[in-house]
Amino acid sequence: MYQIKEKPFIQEINTTIAHENNVRLFVLRLDVIHPIISGNKWYKLKYNIETAKQSGYEKILSFGGAFSNHIHALAGASREAGLKSIGIIRGERPFPLNPTLEFAIQQGMDLHFVSRTDYRDKTSADFIRNLEKRYGPFYLVPEGGSNHLALKGISEIVNKKVKGYDYLCLPVGTGGTIGGIIAGMDGEGKICGFPVLKGDFLKKEIQELISSYNNNSYSNWSLMSDYHFGGYAKFNSQLINFINQFKSDFGIPLDPIYTGKMMFGVFDLLEKGCFKKGSKILTIHTGGLQGIEGFNERFGKLIE
Ligand SMILES: *Cc1c(COP(=O)(O)O)cnc(C)c1O
């Protein structure tokens, strides 16, 4: 199994906007725990990798976009765990490969590119059967890695210290991470998710993930749906400026897909006075920094 290289730690963000609003702002640095399997993906994959090995699988397969943090982490985690990994990638093979996919190949991942139409069909029995014909038996991890085993791993992020905060704020993609945090908090505090995708299908999916994990439902959480910046991997100069300013002010790098949008949202809500006076807010740095290189290659060197 793979191990944490550095313990996650909590750091205070000393910003006037927090002082003016009489709250304290902190960040849980999950981005530091491992140079490759960084952030939330480490926790999401932990029990999936373990189960794959214990069930005797030699191969593990999952899905993602060409810049996916999940694919990157899966490639690294599988190699450390001695499993062969297969990545089903949405869209055509880029030439040259971007840094994320280049890394995945270096880790021994077998990349298989499928059209966007076929990709939409990826959960169908036919599609899976064809993959099995091609690759033989494999342990399947859903897109983004969100299943009940992911929630189990994520829930271990919550300890006594984390439970002492009034608010937990984190970015939301497929919802497995917030699901695990909600389950781990088990009714305490208030959890605020910042979806990076448009649409309101998420609430229901998160509820289903939680009940598949512990059969419970909770009401101490909500989704802040105004900070997706137009959708997945969409951005504007305001977001880019915020990310660069944040790094120069506090020495903490944020990624433009997830953590940058979440932190932007938290600062905006702070400005609007949305957090209770006297409260302590813990933002979760879920990692994702591997994506910056590919993002800069694609859009010009925007992130410093
Ligand atoms: C994948 C990812 C998320 C989203 O996690 P979900 O469990 O899919 O909601 C958030 N932040 C980062 C950095 C990620 O890589």
Query: Kindly report the CA angle at 101 between 132 and 119, in degrees rounded to 5?
Result: 45
Element (H, E) at 253: none
Q: What is the mean pLDDT of residues 154-181?
A: 98
Question: pLDDT value at position 199?
Answer: 79
Atom of ligand 1 nearest to the CA of 255: 13
Q: What is the DSSP string of 34-95?
A: -SSS-THHHHHHHHHHHHHHHTT-SEEEEEE-TT-HHHHHHHHHHHHHT-EEEEEEESPPPS
Beta bridge partners of 62: 87
What's the chain's length in residues?
Answer: 304
Q: In this predicted model, what pLDDT tens digit does every residue of 138-152 receive, in sequence order?
A: 999 999 999 999 999
Expressed in angstroms and rounded, the spacing between residue 69 Cα and the centre of ligand 1 is 8
Residues 6+ positions from 126 with CB-CB distance below 8 Å: none
Which atom of ligand 1 approaches the CA of 174 most closely?
Answer: 8
- Please compute the mean of the pLDDT values over residues 180-207 and round it to a whole number: 95
Please, what's the largest Cα pairwise distance for the chain? 61
Per-residue pLDDT tens over the stretch 23-57: 999 999 999 999 999 999 999 999 999 999 999 99
The ligand 1 site (C-beta within 6 Å) comprises 39-41, 69-70, 144, 146, 171-178, 255, 258-259, 286-288
How much distance in Å is there from the Cα of 170 to the middle of ligand 1?
9
